[in-house]
Structure 1
Amino acid sequence: MGLRFIFMLTRNDKTVEDAEQHLITALAAGVHHIGFKDVGLPFERLKQLNEAIKAGGATSYLEVVSLDKESEIASAKAAVEIGVDILLGGTNVDAVLPILSGTEIQYYPFPGKIEGHPSALTGSIDEIVASAVELNSREGVSGLDLLAYRSTENVTGLMAAVCAAVDKPVIMAGSIGSRERIEIVRRSGAAGFTIGTAALDGDYPADSPELETQLRSIQKDVAGVNNHLSPLGPKNLEQSFAGFSETWSPKIAGTINNMQVKLVKLEGEFVWHHHKVEDELFFVHKGKLMMRFRDRDEIIKEGEFIIVPHGVEHCPVALDGVCEVLLLEPSSTLNTGNVRDERTVSDLEYI
């Protein structure tokens, strides 16, 4: 799945007043994980905000800011009533777990000691790791919400130590406001991270401080560190076919898993053959193709295709001059199948 980016509609540990408008921008930008805090807006608006997040196809997160037991119990009950997907934060695990029992809400409490507002993570790395290990062992705890960048300890070492000590997903929270920090989070072994204020204030390195640009820049950086960016662009069939003239010599134009997209020019009649295990798709880009079978002949015109199942003997014939064909077939496919002759091409060129 890769590292998960969670956009928080929050500033200074409060859900922002204009959260609904920012949500529209986030959903339009294709953000799939969106959260808010349990303070900042009235309960009814939080409930409507959650409904809008889920209606937009995103996963919803509620992060608990309250640290006293009674407030946290109220927040957990609110999470159930609101119907969020994931409850982040909080430290009163024994009080919260019974409230979430029987629901589908995933629970990611804070490891370590949390103090102040905005929240800060205190204690040594060893103490925080010990807390994380204890929480990790608890049934009903789905993962951990680590306030890594709000710790005074070595943040890189802290994140790596916690992720190495537990077998449940860890989400990193705090001031993660650059690609460099996102890369550090990924290397630590974390499952995800949150960004709120940096994007809302236009502080994330991007071409513009506008929220949509901020979010798209973050998503691009996340895709980059996850190795999910494609180096491939469109290919034009007209131009590709114009790049070669020889016939009956397939060229590789692209690869899809163990399949290859091949371009070939046909002229006249080929050889009768079959493929023992490979199916083939013939798409006619230009010209007219006749596919001869032992029981019939099929005519394939421009814009049409035919699939030849493996084991079926066939003989392609180009009608009315040269026929340009796109082939989709496994990379193991030999153009002459079970036959070896002067038209067999073992080493295909890439175009």
Structure 2
Amino acid sequence: MGLRFIFMLTRNDRTVTDAAQHLQTALSLGVRHIGFKDIGLPIDQLKALNKAIQAHGVMSYLEVVSLDHDSEIVSARAAVNIGVDVLLGGTRVDDVLPILQGSGIQYFPFPGQISGHPSVLEGSIEEIVQSAKVITAREGVHGLDLLAYRSKEDVPALMKAVCAAVSKPVLVAGSIDAPERINVVKDAGAVGFTIGTAALDGRYPAKAHDLPSQLAAIIRDVAVLNKHLSPIHKENLTRAFSGLSEPGELKIARKTNNMQIKLVRLKGESAWSFRQHEDELFFVHKGCLLMKLRDRDEVVEEGEFIVVPRGVECFPIALGGACEVLLIDSPALRRVPSNQSWTA
């Protein structure tokens, strides 16, 4: 799994009042992880927000920002009531775990000491790492929510130290507002990060400050890091076939999975043959192909295709001159002449 981008519908540690509108923008761009805080909107609106997120097959997150025991307990119960997929934040693991038991909610609490609002991560790297080890040793804790950029310590060193010290996934939250910081998160070994205020306020480097442009830029930058951008561009069949000069000449245009896309210009007759182990697809780009089978003849016109199953004998004939055919088959297999014996 690549680096996970979690879009938080929050500003300054509060769920924004127009979260439902921003949610639709995020969903339209294909954001797969969306979260919110436990404060800023009434519980019924948070439940509706969560329902809308999950209805689109998107994972939902609730991040706790409570600073006292009673408020954190209320937040944990709210997470169960709302029905989110993941509970982020909070520090009172012993009190929260019983509340989440049996709910199916994944739990990613904060390591270290958290204070203030917006939240600040206090303590040395060694102290935060030790806290991370203790927390992740608990059954029912699925990972950590690390407020790395809210720490006064060396942030890259802090992230690397925490990620190296624990075997459970680490998410990085707070104050990520540039691709350079996302790169640091990736290099440290964290599995994901959150961005909320920076995108909503138009602070992330993008073509424009509006939310669609902001989210599109973040998604693009994450795709680059995850190596999820395609280097393959469209191809024109007419131009591709123009590179074939002789009848019967075959060109491998592209490989996909364990299959090859081949171009061939047929002329006249070939011979009876079959594929022993895999099917073969014939797509006629130009001309007309007569596919003789043992029980019938099929005329395949321009823009049509025919699949010849493995083990089925066929005899392709180009009608009326040359016929340009796109073939899809396995690179490891060849056609077997019908006069050779074989075992199915």
Instruction: For residue 27 of structure 2, give the secondary structure of its aligned residue in structure 1.
Output: helix
Instruction: For residue 290 of structure 1, give the secondary structure of its aligned residue in structure 2.
Output: strand
Aligned CA RMSD, in angstroms, stands at 1.5
Partners of 1:163 and 1:81 in 2: CA distance? 31
1:134 match: 134
The superposition leaves residues 35-89 of structure 1 with CA deviations (integer Å, 9 ceiling, x where unpaired) of: 1111111222212211222223321110000021110110011111111111100
Structure 2 contact 244–264 (Cα < 8 Å) conserved:
no
Deviation at 1:239, TM superposition (A): 2.4
Counterpart of 1:205 in structure 2: which amino acid?
P
2:68 match: 68
**1:187 and 2:194 correspond:** no
1:321-340 map, 5 Å: 321-334=321-334, 337-338=335-336
Instruction: For residue 291 of structure 2, give the secondary structure of its aligned residue in structure 1.
Output: strand
2:156 match: 156
Deviation at 1:101, TM superposition (A): 0.6
**1:260 and 2:256 correspond:** no
1:344 match: none
Partners of 1:111 and 1:172 in 2: CA distance? 11
Partners of 2:144 and 2:187 in 1: CA distance? 17
Partners of 1:187 and 1:292 in 2: CA distance? 58
1:235 match: 235
Deviation at 1:251, TM superposition (A): 1.1
Partners of 1:249 and 1:294 in 2: CA distance? 26
Larger displacement relative to structure 2 (323-332 or 271-280) = 271-280
Aligned length: 337
The superposition leaves residues 99-123 of structure 1 with CA deviations (integer Å, 9 ceiling, x where unpaired) of: 1111111111001111111111111
Counterpart of 1:292 in structure 2: which amino acid?
K
Partners of 1:309 and 1:24 in 2: CA distance? 45
1:36 match: 36
1:315 match: 315
Partners of 1:203 and 1:243 in 2: CA distance? 49
2:48 match: 48
Deviation at 1:294, TM superposition (A): 4.1
Counterpart of 2:317 in structure 1: which amino acid?
V
Partners of 1:294 and 1:51 in 2: CA distance? 57
Instruction: For residue 27 of structure 1, give the secondary structure of its aligned residue in structure 2.
Output: helix
Counterpart of 2:46 in structure 1: which amino acid?
L
**1:145 and 2:145 correspond:** yes
Deviation at 1:299, TM superposition (A): 2.4
Larger displacement relative to structure 2 (71-80 or 314-323) = 314-323
1:201 match: 201
1:220 match: 220
Deviation at 1:244, TM superposition (A): 2.5
Instruction: For residue 318 of structure 2, give the secondary structure of its aligned residue in structure 1.
Output: strand
Deviation at 1:295, TM superposition (A): 4.4
Counterpart of 1:193 in structure 2: which amino acid?
F
1:10 match: 10
Q: Structure 1: any 5+ residue segments left out of the alignment?
A: 340-351
Larger displacement relative to structure 2 (220-229 or 294-303) = 294-303
1:107 match: 107
1:123 match: 123
Counterpart of 1:253 in structure 2: which amino acid?
A
Partners of 1:30 and 1:338 in 2: CA distance? 46
Partners of 2:177 and 2:254 in 1: CA distance? 37
The superposition leaves residues 264-292 of structure 1 with CA deviations (integer Å, 9 ceiling, x where unpaired) of: 11110113333333321111122221223
Partners of 2:7 and 2:169 in 1: CA distance? 18
Deviation at 1:315, TM superposition (A): 2.4
Counterpart of 1:244 in structure 2: which amino acid?
L
1:346 match: none
Partners of 1:338 and 1:49 in 2: CA distance? 60
The superposition leaves residues 88-147 of structure 1 with CA deviations (integer Å, 9 ceiling, x where unpaired) of: 000011111111111111111001111111111111112111111111111111111011
1:301 match: 301
Partners of 1:84 and 1:295 in 2: CA distance? 59
Larger displacement relative to structure 2 (26-35 or 71-80) = 26-35
| TM-score (normalizing by structure 2) | 0.94
Counterpart of 1:167 in structure 2: which amino acid?
S
1:87 match: 87
Q: Structure 2: any 5+ residue segments left out of the alignment?
A: 338-344
Partners of 2:245 and 2:278 in 1: CA distance? 26
* Counterparts in 2 of 1:135 and 1:97: CA distance versus 1, 3 Å: same
Structure 2 contact 264–326 (Cα < 8 Å) conserved:
yes
